[in-house]
Amino acid sequence: MTPFTYNTDKITSSSSGKCQGLTITPFNAGHTLGGAIWKIRSPSSGTIVYAVNMNHMRERHLDGTVLIRQAAGGIFEPLARPDLFITDADRSPVITSRRKDRDAALIGIYFRRASLLCTT
């Protein structure tokens, strides 16, 4: 197992044949700890961005995906205009409530069940 850091480490194929010159780079997906968007670059076939299970919103414990950069005003340049973009729509029907409402609900549950959560 080889550890990688986002946007800096690349896997480059040195083999001959169809995989010659293939480069794979991980980028932060923002969905889970260690989750990645993969940029696969082939000198002969172009660029593929594999971006499933990504989260565009910043959470308390995770930054959002690097795909959309709010400060830069758009798409993160190294991931812009791939030849093929693969993604999913698993979370598309989910309507996320505001963080303030989620926190209030969590605190409400805690105080209703405080005697169950506290151990002696």
Task: Map tokens 């986002």 to a residue.
Answer: 6
Tell me whether residue 83 is in a domain.
yes
Tell me whether residue 105 is in a domain.
no
Residue-level pLDDT at 23? 85
Question: Total domain count for the chain?
Answer: 1
Residue 3 sits at φ, ψ, to 5 deg, of -75, 145
Select the more confidently predicted residue: 95 or 39: 39
Q: What is the mean pLDDT of the chain?
A: 75
What are the counts of helices (DSSP H) followed by strands (DSSP E) for the chain? 2, 7
**DSSP assignment letter at 97:** P
Tell me whether residue 36 is in a domain.
yes
H/E stretch holding 99 reads helix 99-112
How far does CA 27 lie from the centroid of its chain?
7
Its domain, for residue 31, covers: 11-90
Tell me whether residue 61 is in a domain.
yes
Tell me whether residue 106 is in a domain.
no
* Amino acid letter for position 93: P
Tell me whether residue 52 is in a domain.
yes
- The band of 15, judged by pLDDT with boundaries at 50, 70 and 90, is low
Tell me whether residue 81 is in a domain.
yes
- The band of 119, judged by pLDDT with boundaries at 50, 70 and 90, is low
Please check the confidence at residue 120 and state whether its pLDDT lies above 60.
Answer: no
